[in-house]
Structure 1
Amino acid sequence: MFRSVSARQLWRQRCTTPSRGPGEGAPPNPQDLHNALRPAAHQLFKKLKDEQLWRLAEAVESKGRWDCGCVRLPWEARAGKQGSPPHVLLCRLYRWPDLRQASELKRLNQCENFWRKSREGTSICCNPYHFSRLAAPVVEPRAPGSCRGAPRSALPEGFTTKSAGGTQSNIRGRNDTTLSRSSTKEGYWCKLAYWEHRTRVGRLYSVTEPTVHIFHDLPKGSGFCLGFLGSESRSEVVRRTRMKIGQGLTLSYEQDGVWVYNRSEHPIFINSPTLAPVATRGPAVHKLLPGYSVKVFDSEQALSGYPVVGDGPCDPRSVRISFAKGWGSCYSRQFITSCPCWLEVLLSIP
């Protein structure tokens, strides 16, 4: 009984509280939203058992900081024609009030329904934090004249990087596939390199599981923890940016390519060869808001060939992600090496 009451109290509190930020939408009037969704939510809660209701309360209270498991509800596809499916209703209630239909959502692969399709008469997971919102690849708009004098490559010619251990290494050339050739035998599909400006901090992190979390601080979780990586000299700008990483992002290798889900409370900025428009001159930088997912590497497009953008050194299987700070022609930072904290994803998928 205590658990049921707590879940309902949490629901009422969340309905009358403005949203956290632009990534998860802000209703114009929280009370109107509360009144509109109240009857349907009450009917849904009546169908949940106490254990499932409490699990839902934990998921909402933690705001996805740790996985509370699936919130399962018996569901028939025919019932969806009479109103919003339960997962859409709860995603509107707790995360995106402006959500319109299920096709705008992407189920995350920690959900059991990701691995098996729901059949007629089976249960469906309605945990709102087992979903992300699909983001169409959008390049930051270029202001008139902003490209004048802008660099034509993501990195200056002849640029040399320095790791935290003091080892000098040249940026891989555009045709260097050493990592791709050796990775299949070693069993990983990508390696991660964390950078602060021009300095790589820590060692390369090999990823063998289909999904990996990259975060600064996470109460319950496993993956690549950037908070554990120390550096002898770290500027105040880097320290402030590191604090914004929070829950970070999830990187997943799926059937159609590689996806990124932004779990933090701040935007991340992405540059990838298969996200770049054909006519783009210079690096195309895509802004991904909190709570959204985007496919950062398209396997089908990679097989059919894609343009290598820019004149300078680059790796056609490298994805670069900056935390909280953008770069490129629309920003004061022209190169990603000017960003305080960024991640290099070295793909090795065939």
Structure 2
Amino acid sequence: MLMQLVTKFLLIRIDRRFDVYFNLTCIIMDYQYFLTHFNNFLTMDIDEGESSSGGPISSLNSLFSFTSPAVKKLLGWKQGDEEEKWAEKAVDSLVKKLKKRKGAIEELERALSCPGTPSKCVTIPRSLDGRLQVSHRKGLPHVIYCRVWRWPDLQSHHELKPLEHCQFPFSAKQKEVCINPYHYKRVESPVLPPVLVPRHNDFVPGHSLLPFQQLVEPNMPHNVRYSQNGFSTNQMSPSSPLSNVPSPGSVTSNNPQSPYANLAETPPPAYSPTDENNTNANNNQNPESILTTDVQPVAYQEQPFWASIAYYELNSRVGEVFHCHSTSVIVDGFTNPSNNSDRFCLGQLSNVNRNSTIENTRRHIGKGVHLYYVNGEVYAECLSDSAIFVQSRNCNHHHNFHPSTVCKIPAGCSLRIFNNAEFAQLLSQCVNHGFEAVYELTKMCTIRMSFVKGWGAEYHRQDVTSTPCWIEIHLHGPLQWLDKVLTQMGAPHNAISSVS
């Protein structure tokens, strides 16, 4: 009997201990499960590619964060389906600024809900550099919010123009900036007129090249510096045609000392018909009527790839040629191996002949340069901490520089390096001067750009092939246009032989 009681007591104790042990085991497992998932939550920002600079505190705050009704309402007018998180952060940042201004959020909602009705300016304070940072990406505020609410494919502020009734446009550089997307309009891409190519190629001698094409190439290119205030130079020589910058729409200069001063006034040569039987009839014909009746129009066409970029170290090309499909391309010094259509990473390219100077220069390329093609214009924005150096004959022609001039673009500055409309005007003039004049324009379709190190008269490197890291940009649209014009013109007038 005693043994039965002891056995029963021990079984009860064991059973109770097992319950306690089982309960403790469950608690420990739940705790381990919690730790695992909480640790995943803390590292969630890193896994998603976001910055972890805020650490666990910022992650913990985001656990209890929520999207405010004002942000949700404004997101209802968002255009496009891409970059949802970025758009939400941009709108949330804007709402926090507009809350400090009475009626600002309501005015923005009114503008978005009724696009056709007049609305007031919705402004935010202008930052020191004019840009706004959203999720570690900097951009101009009016571009950011026009992209969110009107044009998701917007690339640059050069595509926008303020309406006349906007009191605080970004271009006015006031203390306040209007971000009302309906106070801006998108600039339409200009339609280039076709080039009228004469059917006859018998040109008067002495008109083979235009004045700016006859300039003697210097031993070393001239150098100019570009900044937010315009161009400056330390060296002014008689052979350096540096003059006041003309208006943005002008192609020629009124400066009598400029080599382009007489460009527009140069009369086109007369045409000699190939049919001798019609000589007398054509002699009595107005030359202008010949131009309008005896020509072949050649139109400009956009290409699938607007440009191609080749990377060089000294005089050797490194890697494959990059074809620009996206109208916005960044060339940087980093190592992203993926084949992005909008990013050309030079850091991943190898070269067995690379020396220490090249290695050191490559380390300073950093964020590199942002190239974008907008409305027939090509712009270069220096994103690197070090300057970039650009040789663009189209840009030099616009600013009345010598064709081979090298422009220094410091960090944070943007420069237009090619303009299709000005190229079209030059091409229309060159076809009246013969094959050689048109062929000479091929040089204008190639742009050379060096990172960190410059070349020219003010530097010990005389040529771009002496710089450690540089790229060569070929513009496909203008080159294809030249090809069609040259094909239509036929062979050059000047004969050539094996001993010429």
TM value normalised by structure 2: 0.39
Counterparts of 2:85 and 2:467, CA distance in 1: 34
- 1:135-154 pair list within 5 angstroms: 138-139=230-231, 141-143=233-235
Q: Flag structure 2 segments of 5+ consecutive residues without an equivalent.
A: 1-52, 55-67, 75-83, 95-104, 112-118, 134-139, 155-159, 167-177, 182-225, 241-297, 431-439, 479-500
Shift of 1:281: 3.5
Shift of 1:205: 1.1
Shift of 1:295: 1.2
Aligned residue for 1:266, secondary structure, equals: coil
Counterparts of 1:93 and 1:210, CA distance in 2: 21
Shift of 1:280: 3.2
TM value normalised by structure 1: 0.54
- 1:55-94 pair list within 5 angstroms: 69-70=86-87, 71-72=90-91, 73=94, 75=108, 78-79=120-121, 85-86=123-124, 88-89=126-127, 91-92=129-130
Contact 1:138–1:287 (Cα < 8 Å) also in 2: no
1:287 is aligned, of 408, 414, 423, to 408
Same amino acid, percent of matched pairs: 22
Does the C-alpha gap of structure 1 residues 236 and 220 become closer, same or farther in structure 2, counting only changes over 3 Å? closer
Shift of 1:140: 5.4
Contact 1:137–1:294 (Cα < 8 Å) also in 2: no
Shift of 1:339: 1.0
- 1:148-297 pair list within 5 angstroms: 187-217=304-334, 222=340, 223-277=343-397, 279-281=400-402, 283-297=404-418
| C-alpha distance after superposition, 1:298-336 (max 9, x if no partner) | 12111111899xxx9972201111101111122221211
Contact 1:193–1:345 (Cα < 8 Å) also in 2: yes
What's 1:57 paired with?
none
Contact 2:396–2:403 (Cα < 8 Å) also in 1: no
- 1:38-49 pair list within 5 angstroms: none
Counterparts of 1:264 and 1:220, CA distance in 2: 20
Counterparts of 1:216 and 1:346, CA distance in 2: 20
Counterparts of 1:346 and 1:211, CA distance in 2: 15
Counterparts of 1:109 and 1:331, CA distance in 2: 43
What's 1:320 paired with?
448
| C-alpha distance after superposition, 1:259-317 (max 9, x if no partner) | 11211111111111221046533511112122222211112111111899xxx997220
Contact 1:139–1:284 (Cα < 8 Å) also in 2: no
1:338 is aligned, of 455, 460, 466, to 466
Shift of 1:88: 2.6
Counterparts of 1:108 and 1:123, CA distance in 2: 11
Counterparts of 2:347 and 2:315, CA distance in 1: 18
Counterparts of 1:229 and 1:110, CA distance in 2: 37
1:338 partner letter: S
1:298 partner letter: N
Counterparts of 1:110 and 1:216, CA distance in 2: 30
Shift of 1:232: 0.9
CA RMSD of aligned residues (A): 4.9
2:375 partner letter: Q
RCO comparison, higher one (Cα < 8 Å, 6+): 1
Higher Cα Rg: structure 1 or 2? 2
1:143 partner letter: Q
Q: Flag structure 1 segments of 5+ consecutive residues without an equivalent.
A: 1-8, 11-45, 53-66, 96-103, 125-133, 149-180
Aligned residue for 1:232, secondary structure, equals: coil
Aligned residue for 1:275, secondary structure, equals: helix
Does the C-alpha gap of structure 1 residues 193 and 68 become closer, same or farther in structure 2, counting only changes over 3 Å? farther
What's 1:298 paired with?
419
| C-alpha distance after superposition, 1:112-154 (max 9, x if no partner) | 4665779999866xxxxxxxxx956955514256979xxxxxx
